[in-house]
Amino acid sequence: MREDASRTAAVRRGDTAEFAVIIHDVLPGLLRAARAAGLSEDRVEDTVHASVLIFLRRHADFDGRARVSTWIHGILLHKIAEERRILRRDEAREDIDEVVESRFDADGSWLRPPRGPGDDLARGDIERLVRGCLEGVPDRQRLAFELREVEGFETEEVCKILEVSSNNLGVLLFRARSRLRECLESKGIEGSADARL
């Protein structure tokens, strides 16, 4: 879906009033997408902030072939990928002794035992279970699911953001839903055979 010609012109010329409206409109979705990508809460705002700054610096490059919100989400996607590369590099350096010491006491008992799914359900915390399961879904599948199912972007827009065909998007969504279902079922949450995620 193309952007409105007048909005495209306003973005390209650097209309600050239009920028304020755009950022106000897209900011909640950017934050949700960054959280859904599995970034830690302290990195979510930084990554979204960096994406908005890139949009503001590169506004003249916007050509209107997609909606401006789609374009900004595409920028966010690249920033998330960059954050994940940094995180993987840092995790590769993490000392296993520090991890063990942070989770177990001197006798080898858990400092904070992991909670079972029954505890989470008893607290009515299904959203956290879903978010936890989404963390186990590969990045592109999770982002496809978040943009399409949570943010409500049209298929065409998600394809532009992720730079995939509609068939490839269908595969990403199918795999994300399957992984999410398997994870939730492993935690004791089962739906009917015809339920859709």
Q: Locate the domains of the chain by residue range.
A: 1-95, 115-188
Inter-CA distances, 98 with 32, 94, 95, 103, 104, Å: 31, 8, 5, 9, 10
* CATH code of the domain occupying 115-188: 1.10.10.10
pLDDT of residue 146: 85
Length of the chain: 197
Over residues 61-83, the pLDDT tens digits come to 999 888 999 999 999 999 998 88
| Statement: residue 38 has pLDDT above 70 | yes
Q: What average pLDDT does range 37-47 have in this prediction?
A: 88
Over residues 104-149, the pLDDT tens digits come to 777 777 777 766 655 545 555 677 777 788 888 888 898 899 888 8
- Read off the pTM: 0.57
pLDDT of residue 196: 45
| pLDDT level of residue 191 (50, 70, 90 thresholds) | low
What is the fold, at CATH topology level, of the domain defined by 1-95?
Rna Polymerase Sigma Factor; Chain: A (1.10.1740)
